[in-house]
Amino acid sequence: MTDRLSNAAFRAVMGLALVLPYEKRVPMMGWIVSRLIAPVAGWRRRIRENLHLVFPEMDPAEVERLVRAVPDNMGRSIAETYSGDEFTRRMQASPVEGPGLAALEAARDTGRAVIIAGSHFGNYDAWRAALTGHGFPVGGVYRPMDNALFNDHYVKAIEAISLPLFARGRDMREMLRFLKKGGMVALAFDQHFSSAPVLRFFGLPAKTAISAAEMALRLDVDLIPIYAIRQPDGLSFRIHVDAPVPHSDALSMTQTLNDRLEAMIRAHMDQWLWVHRRWKGVKRDGKRG
């Protein structure tokens, strides 16, 4: 019953938003998530906890700004992902730049696979739409939602951005076949994985998945971080392709991913998903509880 109610509520809000022009729809969903959903869902509290852990001396006014800005970015991202062709057309016009662009283009032009280091920054689907529009063979990896009703329309929404899609933990053979044919696939590394090794993130111990680096080493292909940076207008993006991570070992390569993501977050604090329980069990002294 809870799944049905939550799905029905989401469909009602999203249906209302989709009636509005894109320029009004996206900020409206940002406002709804930031002002109405985040307090009830406990996201504001979690953002404060994470910021207090990482930046204990942060100005309280800046904390409160981020408490509202982070969920606003989340709401905007949801509206964008559900906006179908309107979103993809806009993203395909986004500038794609950065020190790793030449390597990405070379891989595309020679039919060589790439492992993209994905993170919950900006809007994950924005760079996927932009790269697809620029002729890059990008596949998506997603985690199936626990709510099957929600999962059904969510998958349809992300399928409209690019194909193929691979369900994490279920479609790995298909993903490998796609990569061996020269495809590009993103693997996320910036969430807490209970079985992952402990690396450093913002100077604190954080269990970090090393699968992206392991896959790049296994296939002997580039590991390239990519970020969609939301611009000041709140609607457009700049796609930043970072330099390939030099091959060494999976732990060292993943630590490089953490360090680069940290630098990107510091430059755009409101664009990372601070609601994640990224440092589970870690206390302010940097030790695990």
Report the helix count and the strand count for the chain, using DSSP H and E.
Answer: 12, 9
| pLDDT for the residue numbered 289 | 47
- Please state the domain extents for the chain: 2-271
Nearest to 216 by CA among 256, 181, 175, 245: 245
Top CATH class, 2-271: alpha beta
Kind and range of the H or E element at 186? Answer: strand 184-188
Each residue's pLDDT tens digit, 91-137: 999 999 999 999 999 999 999 999 999 999 999 999 999 999 999 99
Residue 15 has pLDDT above 80, yes or no: yes
DSSP state of 33: I
Nearest to 260 by CA among 212, 193, 195: 212
Confidence of residue 7 (pLDDT cuts 50, 70, 90): confident
Tell me the pTM: 0.94
Nearest to 164 by CA among 152, 145, 178: 178
